[in-house]
Amino acid sequence: MLTLKYSRALPGILVNAADPGYTDTDLNDGQGTQTVTEGSDAIVRLATLPDDGPTGTFVNREGALAW
């Protein structure tokens, strides 16, 4: 909800949320099911959106997720 509120309150700024998924890191003692590269896919995609890209979305490496 905060992502949606910010996206509406900040015109001209893209505000989105990313779910990296269960990624193999020290935080979970290496038990994640995907690599760090796979976990960063959604984050990189959002960071490189064009100026007219979507805002107010929630995504993972496979695409947009329903709120």
Per-residue pLDDT of the chain (67 residues; tens, 9 = 90+): 999 999 999 999 999 999 999 999 999 999 999 999 999 999 999 999 999 999 999 999 999 999 7
Query: For the sheet containing 17-18, what is the strand order?
Result: 17-18, 58-60, 63-64
Q: CA separation (Å) from 43 to 1, 5, 36, 59? A: 19, 20, 11, 9
Q: Regarding beta strands 58-60 and 17-18, do their DSSP bridges make them parallel or antiparallel, or are they unpaired?
A: parallel
- What's the pLDDT score for residue 67? 79
Q: DSSP assignment, residue 28?
A: G
- What's the pLDDT score for residue 15? 98
Tokens 């997720």 correspond to 65
